[in-house]
């Protein structure tokens, strides 16, 4: 087993890198891949950069150059469910794009044409391991399982949030997860997305995001560390 751990930003992977034993570092496509161990588990930790293309490239590089067997995406997200608050954790059941629209050709909203699938399912074993990890590493934190919505947009208005809530059934929204899911699906690599909620995906983001981003990212990384160390 070798697990690829992807975060879009430095703050999402920095604490994990500090805790791992690094055996080698390689750079491809302006991404620095740190290979080594976290606990006794072989891992490759990388900052992909923000948005879908970076995320998909990152998965393919992990597969081609490091032969990872599993993918975990860690980071922060905006809540799309009134019951999910800042600091809570969302573990993906699946992931779907919210900014893909080929409905004129008979596809569903969010469906990539010619893929034969609308949402990309997360691995059940990784999902269960992630939920267990929250229970051990952050027992006071609420954890939700559900769909992760992704697009090349930072959602920061109530109007756009309500549109996503109407058209989809996502628990949270961010900018990389569905691309990681699609690339993992194409390579037959099991994956899961674990996101800590940093904001409510509305106008309040201007007040909350900067205050909670770093805390939420480290919080999520601690859960990933526990999960990986016990696999």
The strand pair at 120-121 and 41-47 is best described as: unpaired
Amino acid 189: pLDDT: 98
Amino acid 135: pLDDT: 92
Q: ∠87-84-109 over CA atoms, to 5°?
A: 120
Contact between 52 and 13 (Cβ < 8 Å): no
What are the tokens at 65? 């150059």
Q: Provide CB contacts within 8 A for 49, sequence distance 6+.
A: 8, 30, 31, 55, 58
Burial class (CB in 10 A: 0-12, 13-18, 19+), 1: exposed
Q: Report domain extents, the chain.
A: 2-229
**pLDDT, average across residues 103-115:** 96
Higher pLDDT, 156 or 53: 53
**pLDDT, average across residues 128-157:** 94
Please give the positions annotated as active site: 12, 199
pTM: 0.94
pLDDT band for position 69 (50/70/90)? very high
CATH number 1.10.3080.10 is the correct assignment for the domain at 2-229 = no
3-state secondary structure (DSSP) of residue 127: helix
pLDDT above 80 for 216? no
């Amino acid at each position: 087993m070798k697990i690829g751990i992807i975060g879009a930003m430095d703050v999402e992977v920095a604490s994990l890198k500090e805790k791992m034993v690094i055996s080698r570092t390689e750079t491809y496509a302006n991404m620095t891949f740190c290979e080594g161990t976290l606990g006794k588990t072989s891992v490759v930790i990388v900052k992909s950069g923000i948005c879908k293309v970076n995320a998909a490239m990152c998965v393919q590089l992990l597969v081609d150059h490091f032969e990872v067997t599993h993918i975990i995406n860690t980071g922060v997200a905006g809540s799309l469910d009134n019951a999910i608050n800042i600091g809570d954790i969302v573990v993906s059941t699946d992931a779907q794009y919210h900014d893909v629209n080929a409905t004129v050709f008979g596809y569903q909203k969010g469906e990539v044409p010619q893929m034969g699938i609308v949402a990309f399912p997360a691995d059940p074993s990784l999902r269960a391991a992630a939920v267990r990890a929250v229970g051990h590493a952050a027992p006071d934190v609420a954890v939700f399982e559900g769909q992760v919505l992704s697009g090349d947009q930072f959602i920061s208005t109530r109007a756009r949030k309500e549109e996503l809530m109407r058209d989809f059934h996502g628990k949270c929204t961010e900018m990389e997860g569905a691309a990681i899911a699609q690339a993992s699906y194409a390579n037959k690599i099991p994956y899961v997305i674990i996101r800590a909620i940093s904001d409510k995906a509305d106008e309040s983001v201007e007040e909350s995001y900067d205050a909670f981003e770093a805390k939420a990212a480290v919080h999520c990384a601690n859960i990933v560390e526990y999960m990986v160390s016990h696999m």
